[in-house]
Structure 1
Amino acid sequence: MTVALMWEARAVEGRGADLLAWARRQDLASAPLRRETFRAPQDRVLVITWWAEPYDAELPELPEPPSELVTRAVHRWRFESVAID
């Protein structure tokens, strides 16, 4: 089974580049199969990691960023793969 963890944060206005750089510097306790980092309007940063683990496995996640970089708490989601088309 493949599990994807999604981590999304919104930076304080004008701090999107700082949040993106911070997220890219974060190491995880173990390496995922794949890791992608995205940015979007409104200074949003999204990190998706893929793991060859059961859905309920204990997996390392990116931490909360420093409060001066974000407008709210990080949003986190967990998905399991059902098909590759």
Structure 2
Amino acid sequence: MTVALMWEARAVEGRGADLLAWVRQQPLADEPLRRDVLRAPQDRVLVITWWDAPYDADLPELPEPDAELVTRAVHRWRFEALPEH
């Protein structure tokens, strides 16, 4: 099974580049199959990590950034990849 962990944060205004740099420097305790980093307007950063693991597996996740860097707590979601029909 493939599981995708999504991590999304919104930087303090004008600090999107800092948040993006912070995300890129964060190591994970294990190596995912894939790690995608995306950005959007309003200084938002999204990270999706893909894992070959059961849905409820204990997987490493990115931590919370320092409060001075973000406008709110990080949003996190977990999804199961489905086969195409």
Compute the TM-score of the two structures, normalised by the length of structure 1.
Answer: 0.97
- Residue in structure 1 matched with residue 3 of structure 2 by the alignment: 3
Q: Which runs of 5+ in 1 are unaligned?
A: none
How much has 1:83 moved relative to structure 2?
A: 1.7
How much has 1:26 moved relative to structure 2?
A: 0.2
- Residue in structure 2 matched with residue 72 of structure 1 by the alignment: 72
* Percent of matched pairs sharing the same residue: 79
Please state whether the residue corresponding to 1:76 is helix, strand or coil. strand
Q: Which runs of 5+ in 2 are unaligned?
A: none
Following the alignment from structure 2 to structure 1, what is the Cα–Cα distance between the partners of residues 23 and 53? Answer: 23
Please state whether the residue corresponding to 1:8 is helix, strand or coil. strand
Following the alignment from structure 1 to structure 2, what is the Cα–Cα distance between the partners of residues 41 and 61? Answer: 24
Compute the TM-score of the two structures, normalised by the length of structure 2.
Answer: 0.97
Following the alignment from structure 2 to structure 1, what is the Cα–Cα distance between the partners of residues 14 and 47? Answer: 19
Following the alignment from structure 2 to structure 1, what is the Cα–Cα distance between the partners of residues 17 and 84? Answer: 32
Q: CA RMSD in A?
A: 0.9
What is the aligned residue count?
85
Following the alignment from structure 1 to structure 2, what is the Cα–Cα distance between the partners of residues 45 and 59? Answer: 20
Please state whether the residue corresponding to 1:22 is helix, strand or coil. helix
How much has 1:8 moved relative to structure 2?
A: 0.1
